[in-house]
Amino acid sequence: MKETSAILATAQETIMLQSNAIANLTNLLDNSFVEAVKFILNSDGRVIVTGIGKSANIANKIVATMNSTGTPAVFMHAADAIHGDLGNVQQNDVVICISKSGNTPEIKVLVPLIKNSNNKIIAITGNPDSFLGKNADFLLNSFVEKEACPNNLAPTTSTTAQLVLGDALAVCLLELRGFTSKDFAKYHPGGALGKRLYLRVSDLISKNEIPKVLATDSVSKVIVEISEKRLGVTAVVNNDNNIIGIITDGDIRRMLNKTTKIDELTADDIMSKNPKTIDVDAMAVDALDTLENNNITQILVTDTNQNYVGVVHLHDLIKEGIF
């Protein structure tokens, strides 16, 4: 349909226009960006990010990114700032002002107030010759040739450019601080992402049964153990509680296909030797990798002394939202 092709053409043009504008930002980066990063890094205060209109929405996102990557940040709406919220800015804070034109009335009122308090200003603006651009201590040029809006009015490409520069600041600071995945986990404890970063095998097995039999135990006892513990598997251990084998419900089915004389068999006859194991202190995501790489649904867990302590089932990982 012509309508379909027109929609796709508009979407493609929008994406390409913004993509080219973002790529051009690399040509606009200069030493002012470097100095801004260094100043934030060495500051004893927070980063206050402010803007008006759509730029305020971008400021909120930059604040969220910085807070989650180790740079304390606070959002301050430029309009509210000149009506009392300027009290958010403390002595050692650095202020990032975001404005496409750099000449909005709120920015013109706000900038001198910030400078009077001796706080440094980082400008993200598409107009270096603007009031904001000329009065900032550090200038980050977010110039774009045109908006994706066909009327060149609605903030689209320009706000994307602002966001990308904010991300660039946050990532540079992250790397300079040596921010690791463990640090990231501290700020993201909720949801699947957080769990992938902090959840351990010990957390997964804490509520699970611990199915186990001896090598000399009858197959009947094996079947009962697997059925009662409801994990589809049992470990086979020696008298020191060390793992010597594993029996799954699949092993039971395969045995019954071969013989019905189960009274003559023991766990030792049907177990698989040298099963895959994982340490109780390992990350849960490592358990998932082992299950996937070996095409299995359960893995036995051992402690630092190689004693058997439990089972991780694929369902445990699914329940926690990791899989």
Give the residue from 156, 98, 83 showing the smallest Cα distance to 130: 98
Residues 89, 43 contacting (CB under 8 angstroms): no
Residue 142: the pLDDT is: 97
Residue 1: the pLDDT is: 59
Can you tell me the distance from the alpha carbon of 217 to that of 195, in angstroms, rounded to the nearest whole number? Answer: 38
Burial class (CB in 10 A: 0-12, 13-18, 19+), 158: buried
Q: How many CB atoms lie within 10 A of CB 166?
A: 25
Q: pLDDT band at residue 209, thresholds of 50, 70 and 90? A: very high
pTM for this structure? 0.70
Residues 277, 301 contacting (CB under 8 angstroms): yes
* Bridge pairing between strands 47-51 and 73-77: parallel
Residue 179: the pLDDT is: 85
Residue 236 pairs in a beta bridge with 213, 245
Q: Which CATH architecture fits 2-179?
A: 3-Layer(aba) Sandwich (3.40)
Q: Is the pLDDT of residue 257 over 70?
A: yes
> Are 2-179 and 201-319 the same fold in CATH?
no
Name which of 30-44, 176-190, 217-231, 294-308 the model is least confident about: 176-190
Give the residue from 72, 64, 86 showing the smallest Cα distance to 44: 72
Q: Domains of the chain: which residue ranges?
A: 2-179, 201-319
Show the tokens assigned to 186.
Answer: 């501290």
Which has more confidence, 151 or 198?
151
Report domain 201-319's class.
Answer: alpha beta
Alpha-carbon distances, residue 77 vs 51, 114, 141, 181, 208 (angstroms): 6, 14, 21, 31, 50
Share of the chain above pLDDT 90, in %: 79
- 262-282 pLDDT, tens per residue? 888 999 999 999 999 999 999
Residues 175, 74 contacting (CB under 8 angstroms): no
